[in-house]
Amino acid sequence: MTNTTDTTPTETAAVDDRTVDKDRVLIFDTTLRDGEQCPGATMTHSEKLEIAELLDEMGVDIIEAGFPIASQGDFRAVAEIAERTKDSVVCGLARANLTDIDRAWEALRGARRPRIHTFIGTSPSHRAIPNLTMDQMAERIHETVTHARNLCDNVQWSPMDATRTEWDYLKRVVEIAIRAGANTINIPDTVGYTAPEESASLIRRLIAEVPGADEVIFATHCHDDLGMATANSLAAVAGGARQIECTINGLGERAGNTALEEVVMALKVRHDIMPWHTRIDTTRIMNISRRVAAASGFQVQFNKAIVGKNAFLHESGIHQDGVLKNVETFEIMRPEDIGLSVSNLVMGKHSGRAALRSRLRDLGYEVGDNQLQDVFVRFKALADRKKEVYDEDLVALMRADEDPR
Ligand code: KIV
Ligand code: ZN
């Protein structure tokens, strides 16, 4: 079997990780492949290198760096990311044919920890495209996974549209891929069709019923068409999956992929009921979110979980007052946990006196009750005219108050 000449163990890195710690969930980031693949999200070569470096530094286990046969640019990006990445496994995508797989390996062979990811659509509508019978497709899967495994010790196989594939056929092809040497079996919900209970039971049944299933890692790869990608991914983990495929900011085709920041923070914040963990340094989330938004041109919606501009902002008087007295009243995680320096109180028409006094104090103004009342009246009048009252506006109000001429 050929492999890299590096002495770093490439042998089924993911399987080793699971052997060491059965509660560890591997994070497979596909921002640079499935994320970049969505219309309008194209990134430049240097942006891809920078994002891969940030993913490596934040503790992502596997970086899917691209689809090497898709273009010369993708090939170059995968090859360069493969050479530069220090810790993460670097993965390249290939369809179920020998040319794709050879090209992926050519791009990946310089990686310290390479992985080939090969896939084929197994549901009825996907099977109709290459016009293969079920038996012919099964034979193709055996041939291509065997070929990939002869090149690389770390092979992932995906039955695309698994959640709409007939159960008996899914079981059959998963077993074939395992026998041919796949170390990771990814179960994609390609069109965002499944729901949490089904997602959990699909993985649970595959692990229970497919011979050899306990020798591999099962992965979950969800799309967000019905807004359930995060819930479906976490349910799959409850069913036994130990790799979540995701993207920064949920970037991806149509409604996007599972958002990395959501599954990672959900596992961290609700460890009491979801006793699994990742090795992501969550304090790097905000920075990479901003970098991906800038590089892809896909701005993050204001109310997006975890990384939206408003995710840690409080405007109403009751909320601001509560947060000032005890931050836990309206915050279930600390902004510092994702790399935000402070929780922000937005000053607007719903803000109360306590928040105004606190913000004025931050700006260097200690006000007595009478002055506060005076400034508060003028602050409310201003807030009625403006959506948001900024620090500069407050400073101007204070100046006017101190020098009313
Ligand atoms: O959504 C999907 O099925 C995919 C595969 C290529 C894994 O992205
Ligand atoms: Zn996908």
Using the predicted structure, report yes or no on whether residue 5 has a pLDDT greater than 80: no
Q: Any idea which ligand is nearest the CA of 191?
A: 1
Four-residue CA torsion sign, 104, 215, 230, 302: negative
- Tell me how far apart the alpha carbons of residues 145 and 128 are, in angstroms, rounded to a whole number: 21
How far is C-alpha 55 from the chain's CA centre?
Answer: 10
pLDDT tens string 33-48: 999 999 899 999 999 9
The enclosing H or E element of 188 equals strand 184-189
In sequence order, the 6+-apart residues with CB closer than 8 A to the CB of 56 are: 63, 85, 86, 87, 88
- Tell me how far apart the alpha carbons of residues 129 and 81 are, in angstroms, rounded to a whole number: 32
Four-residue CA torsion sign, 336, 337, 339, 340: negative
pLDDT tens string 49-102: 999 999 999 999 999 999 999 999 999 999 999 999 999 999 999 999 999 999
- Tell me how far apart the alpha carbons of residues 213 and 127 are, in angstroms, rounded to a whole number: 24
- In this structure, the strands spanning 114-121 and 89-95 are parallel
Most distant CA atoms of the chain, gap in Å:
88
Residue nearest to atom 2 of ligand 1 (CA): 190
Average pLDDT in the 124-152 region? 96
The CB-side HSE value for 186 (13 A sphere, CA atoms) comes to: 27
Cβ 158 under 6 angstroms from ligand 1: yes
Q: Give the dihedral of Cα atoms 201, 207, 210, 216; nearest 10 deg.
A: 140
End-to-end CA distance of the chain: 85
Question: What integer pLDDT is reported at residue 165 of this predicted model?
Answer: 98
Place of tokens 């090859």: 79
- If you measure from the C-alpha of residue 37 to the centroid of ligand 1, how many angstroms do you get, rounded to a whole number? 11
Is residue 166 within 8 A of residue 199, CB to CB? The reply is no
Q: According to the 3-state scheme, what is the secondary structure of 62-109? A: EEEEECCCCCHHHHHHHHHHHHHCCCCEEEEEEECCHHHHHHHHHHHC
Average pLDDT in the 367-383 region? 92
Cβ 190 under 6 angstroms from ligand 1: yes
- If you measure from the C-alpha of residue 402 to the centroid of ligand 1, how many angstroms do you get, rounded to a whole number? 63
Retrieve residue 268's tokens.
């961290």
Question: What integer pLDDT is reported at residue 363 of this predicted model?
Answer: 77
- If you measure from the C-alpha of residue 78 to the centroid of ligand 1, how many angstroms do you get, rounded to a whole number? 18
Using the predicted structure, report yes or no on whether residue 369 has a pLDDT greater than 70: yes
Question: What integer pLDDT is reported at residue 3 of this predicted model?
Answer: 34
In sequence order, the 6+-apart residues with CB closer than 8 A to the CB of 130 are: 120, 137
Average pLDDT in the 156-163 region? 98
Among 32, 67, 158, 258, which is best to mutate for testing ligand 1, by the most ligand atoms less than 8 A from CB?
Answer: 158
Q: Provide the annotated binding site for Mn(2+).
A: 34, 221, 223, 257
pLDDT tens string 308-350: 988 988 777 788 888 888 878 777 999 999 998 765 678 888 8
Using the predicted structure, report yes or no on whether residue 7 has a pLDDT greater than 60: no
Question: What integer pLDDT is reported at residue 17 of this predicted model?
Answer: 52
Question: What integer pLDDT is reported at residue 326 of this predicted model?
Answer: 81
Cβ 126 under 6 angstroms from ligand 1: no
Q: Any idea which ligand is nearest the CA of 188?
A: 1
